[in-house]
A and B are shown apart, each in its own frame.
Chain A
Amino acid sequence: MDMHSFINFFLLPGIVQGSIYALGAIGITLVFAIMRYGHFAHGDLATFGAFIALAFTTVLGLSPYAALPLAVLATGVFAVALDRLFYAHLRAMPKIITTIASFGVALMLRSFVQVVWGVNTTSYTRGITRPENWFGIRVKSHEIVTLLVAIALVVALHLFLTRNKWGKAMRAMSDNPELALFSGVDNGKVIALTWIIAGGLCAASGFFLGLNTELKSLMGWNILLPTFAAAILGGVGRIEGAIVGGLIVGIAEELSVLVIPGEYKVMSAFGILLLVLLFRPTGLFRGKVL
């Protein structure tokens, strides 16, 4: 196999897939950093975001790319509402209760999508897009957009967390909620902010998954496990860990086909996860222990 087909068919799909996982994993990691529980409705929230974008394209007649920011915003606000409705009153209880509640929310979200948009597979645009050829590297325009937007979102998030007052408050609360509270950080506002960011990134990951493949009600649920694997692999609670973890999981899945049969693709990501947990239980970037 030559270099070009290695990049075209193995590396590039892995990177695209990895950045989709990374966007989801950042959300999972943020929720864990601030609120200390695993949020299992994350996959279905991504499905919801993807279908909200579909609604903007069909109802308002927008192009998918124009629908993306609207869907990100809408899903962010929706995530805050979910938190107020289902998670807020569980805050003082053991975290496992909220984790289990998030499973229930996942089922509700999925059923909601199925009731509103139906159970059939659909897509943002009809037809196919053949990849463009850049000196032998074949890449589709929406793959480039996926990568660019993912990078932009990550950079924006990094700047927000390091430069902005509220971003610093989020980090403070992640380090020590009580201390942050005594220093005058409004925990309620930080939690709402976390949900806006996590929900928005979630919608972006769902949107790009739908753009690169198809939209279906189980799409988010199907990427939940690799997304979680990515978050844990990088170190839970560490943004940079989630990004690296996402890329590793995505690329490992695609490259594994070179050595093991395709039906065991999923296994490769978990194999890596297992090794990391064995030899470095806190994840690559020394995150919080689950």
Chain B
Amino acid sequence: MKTKHLGLASLLLGASALATPALADVNIGLLNGITGGAAAMAPEITKSLQFAVDQINEQGGVLQGEKLVGIMADDGCSPQVAADAATKLVNVSQVIGVVGPLCSGALMAAVNSATIPAGVILISQAATSPEITTLKDNDLVFRTIPSDEYQGQALARTLLDRGTKKVAVSFINNDYGKGIAEAFKKEYEAKGGEIAGYEAHEENKSSYRADLAGLAQGGADTLVLLDYGDTSGLTVLREAIENGFFEKFVGAEGMKTSAPVKAIGADNLTTFMASAPVSTKSEALDIFNKAFAEAGGDINASYVGPSYDAVFLLALAIEKAGGDKSKLSESLRAVSNGEGEPILPGEWKKAKELITAGKAIDYKGASGELNFDANGDVPGSYALFKVAGDDWAVETEMK
């Protein structure tokens, strides 16, 4: 009996000795909208995030050769789920920084309840609400995607340029919908357009005919629908087409998913267009596209570039700060402020050597220059897309 215990004890001892790694891993959190309103975008975003993590580890990892580990958590595209997930990442997984979440409402909850109080830096690749710009974040919240303030304005100008002078606006009642709708309304009215109906709708209801009937009374033939294509946006669009409330439909990037095309059919969506951020043509984008395609990713999917950039930038900041959590914001600004030796996607080894040598670097991302302004935002460019076949094609650039 005694020998048995001894044997067991030594076995445990041996196991724990084996389990202790030579170097600790560096954990970063990846808040991803695997379920909920942004679910259709999540698979390719996941690939892109993982691709960035793998690339960094293949080229020597971070700091003294530690492995960068991305811990994925589902934000459900909803405030409650995101707050829980972020709390777990910060307190249980002890992450040094977070990439994500995808949805603005989810981001608000995650940063206010978990990351800002804990002093953890967060870079979102897809949350576009203008509300995030004015967040009191102790310089801990950044974005590799431009704010909808710009997109709402660009959409308003593009519609007016194309001769649409009167629209009704229906938007989802959350941070994303409200933010972009307000930006759109302000610019559209300032430039002489008429808003004949402007109303929020609650997500996840099964009929919006009453809401739509109210909006249609204004007499506009175009509905600007600022919502997610996987949830209420799809229902609203379907009911508006079926009942002939409006003739033309314009959405933003939330509507530019495969779900409406699959569910409603391309032939019914000839008058449906959606705006979305596009990566400006650059050497960095070409390099990323080639490498990501080789790794099995879809380069035309939404947010893959910004996702990759967010992970890469976070890793650069960790490297620059020497793993010191309190210096991450400062370091993040330092590695992408337009000054220093340019670093392109995939050039992790080169960046690491330069940082070690104490030289300044400037990351040029797949999604753009990514020079953060005082609010942690980046400027962006947009295009208007239309449905072509089973996919989306660029109709026109937006200014």
Contacts and interface: CB of A to CB of B under 8 A. Distances in A.
Contacts of B205: 222, 253, 265-266
B242 interface: yes
Interface string A233-276: 00000000000000000000111011001111110000000000
A123 B306 CA distance: 31
A9 B230 contact: no
A99 interface: no
A10 B213 contact: yes
Max count, chain B CB within 10 A of own CB: residue among A138, A264, A265: A265
B264 A128 contact: yes
A217 B81 CA distance: 15
B207 A263 contact: no
B59 interface: no
Contacts of A254: 207, 209-210
A261 B206 contact: no
Contacts of B40: 120-121
Interface string A110-153: 00001000011111001111110000001010000000000000
A216 interface: yes
B210 A258 contact: yes
Interface stretch (B31-39, B102-110, B295-303, B358-366): B31-39
A262 B243 contact: no
A223 interface: yes
A156 to B, nearest CB: 25
Nearest to B268: A128
Contacts of B206: 17, 20, 209, 212-213, 223
A212 B207 contact: yes
Interface stretch (B83-91, B196-204, B279-287, B328-336): B196-204
Max count, chain A CB within 10 A of own CB: residue among B206, B209, B268: B206
A214 interface: yes
B218 to A, nearest CB: 13
Nearest to B264: A128
A161 interface: no
Interface residues of A, number: 44
Contact of B211 (A114, A140, A257): A257
B231 interface: yes
Given A9-B212, A126-B263, A216 B207 contact: no
A126 B210 contact: no
Contacts of B35: 114, 119, 217-218
B201 A262 contact: yes
B4 interface: no
Chain B contact-residue range equals: 35 or more
A138 B244 CA distance: 11
A13 interface: yes
Given A261-B200, A262-B211, A216 B230 contact: yes
Max count, chain A CB within 10 A of own CB: residue among B40, B207, B234, B243: B207
Contacts of B238: 128, 213-214
B71 interface: no
Interface string B180-211: 00000000000000000001111011111111
B69 interface: no
A253 B204 CA distance: 13
A63 interface: no
B342 interface: no
A218 B214 CA distance: 27
Interface in B306-347: none
Contacts of B235: 213-214
Contacts of B231: 121, 216
Interface string B212-232: 111001000000000000110
Given A9-B212, A120-B230, A128 B242 contact: yes
Contact of B34 (A1, A119, A218): A119
Contacts of A255: 210
Given A9-B243, A261-B200, A122 B263 contact: yes
A20 B207 CA distance: 12
Contacts of B379: none
B230 A10 contact: no
Given A119-B39, A120-B40, A128-B264, A9 B209 contact: yes
A5 interface: yes
B291 interface: no
A270 B210 CA distance: 18
15 contacts: A9-B210, A10-B213, A17-B207, A119-B39, A120-B230, A121-B39, A127-B268, A130-B243, A138-B243, A140-B242, A212-B207, A214-B238, A255-B210, A262-B199, A265-B211
